[in-house]
Amino acid sequence: MSELLVDTKRPNLLTFTMPVVAVLGVMFGFVTGNIFGNPAIGALGGAVVGAGLAGILAKIIAIKRWKKIWGVAVVFGVVAAIFGGFFGGFLVGLSMGWFATWVGTGKYRSGVPIYYTPGQVLWHCAFLFICAFVFFFLIAPLIPVVWLSFNAENFFTFTPEMLSFKSAGYSLKHYRDFLGTDEWMVPLKNSLIIAPIATLISVSLGTLAAIGLSQSHVPGRQVMMAILISPMIVPLIISATGMFFFYAPLGNWLQLNLGLNQAFVGYMKVILAHAVLGIPFVIITVTATLVGFDRSLTRAAANMGADPVTTFFRVQMPLILPGVISGGLFAFITSFDEVVVVLFVGSARQQTLPWQMYTGLREQISPTILAAATILVSVSILLLTTVELLRRRSERLRGMSPG
């Protein structure tokens, strides 16, 4: 444990802290200078401001770290407000203040083994920043969507009132339009009918397939596994085309020979198609859970006289349940967000929420689509958070992480 001791010795102010913070100032200054049409002056001013900020914060030792950071953010925001951009200046100040204190106090070495060379410390910190930037660029496209969903006008652009953060520029009208009209509620109802049933089928078949394929004595299990997860690998447009040519004659046969209702057959086709797309996710997550499963437990249950069904529900299922639920959540998200297969297999009666959003973008651009997208993003975040909590619980049950 001694080799992991934290070294937070303050680095040299003139030769390290000020130049490093000045580099960040150059980046922010270059972007700001581009906005005003003079990036060179902006970069130079950013370097001066960054170096000066690092020097000032280093001299103010009596003030707590978080107070320094928020103080810098407020000062930057006030200065930026003079030029009409308080929020952007506040974020820049928050970033600059945190970075300057993080570097100046030596916190950048926190958690780094004491035997690391300067080059290794640099790579460690650079790797963390690379991960942060990748995460930011993955999330950044969602920010304008969520922000614009509260637009008080029927525009897909930011109004001056929104950019100035005035209450007159914001409204919940698009959410009221989404929740108060059949144009959006009927597709939402269809999605809430199709996705849960498709998820139930995916979980049932996928779990049984994963348990069967996890047995070493099953012949050709690698080939069967490849076939079962192929819907995840094959391009969706090809899968949708194949499903159309398979389910179209099947639906006609069910209507003509069994007299089934056309709407019922349409729902059945979409549900089965979505179940096929969800099964690979269940197989993969359950198979991963079964890797750490102690098979002596099932043999012990059999020796005690339990039949296979009782053994499965009383012994095996409680231990693999996190993987089953995780796979079910992925299958639900896949079905709830899917649009290509529905366009090929379904009809107007089975119009789902993503289908309605696609139609709205193509025929009539309405900001209500942004409200629908925000709700979908929120549901996805909630489900993925649940998946992560279940993954950690599964690791604790298998003894792979501390409780």
Per-residue pLDDT tens digits for 197-229: 999 999 999 999 988 888 877 788 888 888 888
Residue 146: pLDDT band by 50, 70, 90 thresholds?
A: confident
Specify whether 301 is located in the same domain as 355: yes
Specify whether 35 is located in the same domain as 132: yes
pLDDT in tens, 88-130: 778 888 888 888 888 888 788 777 777 778 778 888 888 888 8
Beta bridge partners of 118: none
In a domain, 170, yes or no: no
Specify whether 231 is located in the same domain as 358: yes
How many CB atoms sit inside 10 A of residue 316's CB?
A: 19
Q: Is 274 helix (H, G, I), strand (E, B) or coil?
A: helix
Specify whether 214 is located in the same domain as 343: yes
For residues 97 and 66, is the Cβ–Cβ distance under 8 A?
A: no
In a domain, 94, yes or no: yes
pLDDT at 274 over 80: yes
- Which pTM does this prediction carry? 0.71
Structural domain span for residue 252:
177-397
- The closest alpha carbon to 24, from 125, 110, 113, belongs to 125
Which of the listed residues 119, 140, 161 is the one where a domain comes to its end?
140
Q: Of 387 and 379, which is predicted with more confidence?
A: 379
- Rg (C-alpha) for the chain, rounded Å, is 28
In a domain, 148, yes or no: no
Q: Of 157 and 53, which is predicted with more confidence?
A: 53
Specify whether 203 is located in the same domain as 328: yes
Specify whether 206 is located in the same domain as 336: yes
How many domains would you assign to the chain? 2
Which of the listed residues 82, 115, 140 is the one where a domain comes to its end?
140
Specify whether 39 is located in the same domain as 84: yes
Q: Which of 153-157, 245-249, 256-260 has the lowest mean pLDDT?
A: 153-157
Q: How many CA atoms lie within 13 A of 247 on its CB side?
A: 25
How many CB atoms sit inside 10 A of residue 10's CB?
A: 14
Which of the listed residues 117, 140, 163 is the one where a domain comes to its end?
140
Specify whether 340 is located in the same domain as 232: yes
For residues 144 and 104, is the Cβ–Cβ distance under 8 A?
A: no
In a domain, 210, yes or no: yes
Residue 7: pLDDT band by 50, 70, 90 thresholds?
A: very low
Residue 2: pLDDT band by 50, 70, 90 thresholds?
A: very low
In a domain, 154, yes or no: no
pLDDT at 163 over 80: no
- What is the rounded average pLDDT for all residues in the chain? 82
- The closest alpha carbon to 207, from 112, 326, 120, 311, belongs to 326
For residues 93 and 73, is the Cβ–Cβ distance under 8 A?
A: yes
Rounded-to-5 percentages of helix, strand, coil across the chain: 80, 0, 20
pLDDT score recorded for residue 105? 80
Specify whether 375 is located in the same domain as 254: yes
Distance (Å, whole) CA 123 – CA 115 = 14
In a domain, 146, yes or no: no
Specify whether 213 is located in the same domain as 75: no
Specify whether 112 is located in the same domain as 239: no
For residues 206 and 282, is the Cβ–Cβ distance under 8 A?
A: yes
Specify whether 243 is located in the same domain as 363: yes
Indicate which CATH number applies to the domain containing 206: 1.10.3720.10
pLDDT at 338 over 60: yes
In a domain, 300, yes or no: yes
* Highest mean predicted confidence (pLDDT) among 155-164, 214-223, 291-300, 385-394: 214-223
Distance (Å, whole) CA 151 – CA 168 = 9
In a domain, 349, yes or no: yes
